[in-house]
Amino acid sequence: MKNEGIRWLKERLDEIRSLKGYVSGETVRRTAQRLGVKPPEIVKLNSNENFFMPKEKLANFLREVIEESDPRIYPQEEEAEVKNALGKYLDVPPECVIIGSGSDPLIDLVTRLFLREGDEALSIEPTFSLYKHLVSLWGAKYVGVPLKDNFSLDVKGILAAVTPNTRMLFVCSPNNPTANQFEIEEVQSLVEGFPGLVAVDEAYVEFADYSLVRLVEKFENLIAFRTFSKAFGLAGLRLGYAVSNQNLATTLSEKAQLPYVADSIALKMGLKLLANIEIVKEAVRRLKKERGRLIKELNNVNGVKAFDSRTNFVLFQTKKNSNEVFEALLRRGILIRNVGKILNFGGCLRATVGLPEMNDKLLTALEQVCGE
């Protein structure tokens, strides 16, 4: 009996090892060590963080939160307070909000709960690689439906891919890595026509034109995932949330989550920023203005084509091989993401919209690399 159990454990470990895991971006420290330079000399534009949120203001809020906190005590009312504050921010009942330590664990939670071995989940291609990893991890089948050549949704193709085993649909909008937001009518058509749960990842929605959050009470099969890591500038503290109809949200919060899903510091920082939302809105406004400049300047670089963006990053294509461009930028201390081929577009790379001085270094380096 014991040997059977050990064999099962080894087999399961082998299955997990065979999966392609999610790979986070190269770290500044490792890159600096490779180049033999100091970490501050590296321009970090590979993980879509928001450098427009003023670091000093965040540090001041963090000092206040630490003074107010007792790390010996479990979180108390903070989760309920964040739900109430988010309800006002989003104009939804707080009972529609589910709190998590980032949006990724909430996506994982929903995947685990609503997919069984033999089930299928649909998604668009290309998109955030985490969905495929989680679906495979929990024993279900992942089916990707390509976007159209203009990066728009193939609504008919997605609905045609539905089988009797299809249970979930993942839609990242605005989408990573294409940076576009899909037409609201098209996404709503998917929600109306899909016979299962539609999980819409809105991590970048504050940089875009609209949110589907206002539709969660209308559609019982819609759940939207949001985060404090992007617009709010709290990537290092891990706080996120999901929004759905009250029945789904309450069930997930009360029956499916472990106790204390987020720590006191992250929750209190979220409250501070929601109470000072104009700071966030001003950071977003400045970022969007710089995003427009970056796209324009990228398109002025010989051999570079930048795509439009509704996120805090820009996807661009180079005539040169993307591996060569990526490595050449890396040697110059510029850290971005090598995306490669997207649909019919080869040589694609992705860069965070950094502060103007960061973007200027990227542009200068690209002019050198693409002009070689």
- Look at residues 23, 26, 15, 53 and name the one whose alpha carbon lies nearest to residue 330: 26
Whole-angstrom distance, CA of residue 324 vs CA of residue 372: 11
- Look at residues 232, 208, 199 and name the one whose alpha carbon lies nearest to residue 128: 199
Q: What six digits make up the tokens of 111?
A: 């995947």
Per the CB < 8 A criterion, the answer to whether 339 and 323 are in contact is: no
Q: What is the pLDDT along the chain (372 residues), one digit of tens a residue?
A: 556 667 888 887 887 788 777 666 678 888 878 877 888 888 999 999 999 999 999 999 999 999 999 999 999 999 999 999 999 999 999 999 999 999 999 999 999 999 999 999 999 999 999 999 999 999 999 999 999 999 999 999 999 999 999 999 999 999 999 999 999 999 999 999 999 999 999 999 999 999 999 999 999 999 999 999 999 999 999 999 999 999 999 999 999 999 999 999 999 999 999 999 999 999 999 999 999 999 999 999 999 999 999 999 999 999 999 999 999 999 999 999 999 999 999 999 999 999 999 999 999 999 999 876
The domain made up of 55-276 has a fold known as: Aspartate Aminotransferase; domain 2 (3.40.640)
- Phi first, then psi: what are they for 331, rounded to 5°? -65, -20
pTM above 0.75, yes or no: yes
The domain covering 22-51+279-370 belongs, at the CATH homologous superfamily level, to Aspartate Aminotransferase, domain 1 (3.90.1150.10)
Write down the domain spans for the chain: 22-51+279-370, 55-276
- Look at residues 321, 313, 320, 317 and name the one whose alpha carbon lies nearest to residue 294: 313
